[in-house]
């Protein structure tokens, strides 16, 4: 049985400065299996974040395909792609991007509400996840009342609220100290073990990268090595 969740084929992405083409990705081919943790590494500017944005449907490629369980997400129109992204993809960034006026519970429930879940369903799911990530006592706290590690745990819970196929994480511990980073790393691996959650993580953190099931190295917009 084919266990591939994602298949990327001959993926290119260029940006344009007036008439000048700025190629970033130059023919990426890769596959990601269900319940796999994949780390993407490489020097700054090689296209790691650009790749993650394409995998998440936040941007469209210049050429190539991104297939989720055999379906090309870029065959969808913008509205369909928005719905797919909200339902099937979870995002965790270096900065948490929590809404400052909302509580932890409200922040985590928000993607469920956008997906038109009933408010009680979205809030119950959010409450379960916040309990799972160790923040059951912080449900009514706003981001300004939380530590950096707590804010990132809220962001991770928010990424999971719609039970996405994959969570895409871009330097998820880049703003955290070593001890807090290790706690967040442990949480990601626990989520993977408990829920068979797939993670693709862009990182400069070598400790995090070495823990992954597989490591993909980008050099000059191409995959140079997969371990």
Q: Which domains does the chain have, with CATH numbers?
A: 4-226 (3.40.50.300)
Looking at residue 1, its pLDDT comes to 47
For residue 128, give every residue at least 6 positions away whose Cβ sits within 8 Å of its Cβ, in sequence order, or none.
Answer: none
Q: Could you tell me which of 108, 112, 82 has the C-alpha nearest to residue 97?
A: 108
Q: In the sheet where 4-17 sits, what is the strand order?
A: 20-33, 4-17, 63-68, 71-72
Which CA distances in Å does 24 have to 12, 14, 28, 64, 221? 7, 5, 11, 13, 5
Does residue 107 contact residue 153 with C-beta atoms inside 8 Å? no
pLDDT for position 53? 93
| In contact, 109 and 126? CB cutoff 8 Å | yes
DSSP character string of the chain: ---EEEEEEEEEEEEEETTEEEEEEEEEEEEEETT-EEEEE-STTSSHHHHHHHHTTSS--SEEEEEETTEEGGGS-HHHHHHHHHHHEEEE-SS----TTS-HHHHHHHHHHHTT--HHHHHHHHHHHHHHTT-GGGTT--GGGS-HHHHHHHHHHHHHTT--SEEEEESTTTTS-HHHHHHHHHHHHHHHHHH--EEEEE-S-HHHHHHSSEEEEEETTEEEEE-
Cα 26 to Cα 14: distance, rounded to the nearest angstrom: 8
Tens-binned pLDDT, residue by residue, of the chain (227 aa): 468 899 999 999 999 888 898 899 999 999 999 999 999 998 888 899 999 999 999 999 999 999 999 999 999 999 999 989 988 999 988 777 889 999 999 999 998 898 888 999 999 999 999 998 889 899 999 999 999 889 988 999 999 898 898 999 988 877 777 888 888 888 889 889 888 899 999 988 888 888 899 999 999 888 986 65
pLDDT of amino acid 38: 95
Q: How many CB atoms lie within 10 A of CB 81?
A: 16
Record the pTM.
0.90
Beta bridge partners of 16: 21
Measured CA to CA, the distance from residue 93 to residue 172 in angstroms comes to 5
Find how far residue 104's CA is from the centre of its chain. Answer: 19
Residue 95 is predicted with a pLDDT of 74
Residue among 69, 149, 144, 211 at smallest CA distance from 227: 211
């Amino acid at each position: 049985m084919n266990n591939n969740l994602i298949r990327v084929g001959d993926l290119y992405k260029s940006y344009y400065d007036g008439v000048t083409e700025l190629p970033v990705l130059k023919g990426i081919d890769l596959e990601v299996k269900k319940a796999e943790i994949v780390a993407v590494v490489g020097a700054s500017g090689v296209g790691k974040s650009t790749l993650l944005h394409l995998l998440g449907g936040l941007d469209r490629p210049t050429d190539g395909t991104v297939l989720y369980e055999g379906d090309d997400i870029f065959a969808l129109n913008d509205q369909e792609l928005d719905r797919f992204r909200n339902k099937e993809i979870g995002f965790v960034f270096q900065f948490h991007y929590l809404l400052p006026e909302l509580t932890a519970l409200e922040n985590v429930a928000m993607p469920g509400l956008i997906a038109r879940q009933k408010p009680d369903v979205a809030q119950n799911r959010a409450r379960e996840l916040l309990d799972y990530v160790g923040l059951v006592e912080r449900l009514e706290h706003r981001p300004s009342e939380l530590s950096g590690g707590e804010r990132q745990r809220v962001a991770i819970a928010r990424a999971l609220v719609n039970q996405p196929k994959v969570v895409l994480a871009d330097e998820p511990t880049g703003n955290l100290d070593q001890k807090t980073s290790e706690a967040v790393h442990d949480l990601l691996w626990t989520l993977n073990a408990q829920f068979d959650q797939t993670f693709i993580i862009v990182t400069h953190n070598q400790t995090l990268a070495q823990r992954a099931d597989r490591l993909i190295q980008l050099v000059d917009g191409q995959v140079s090595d997969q371990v």
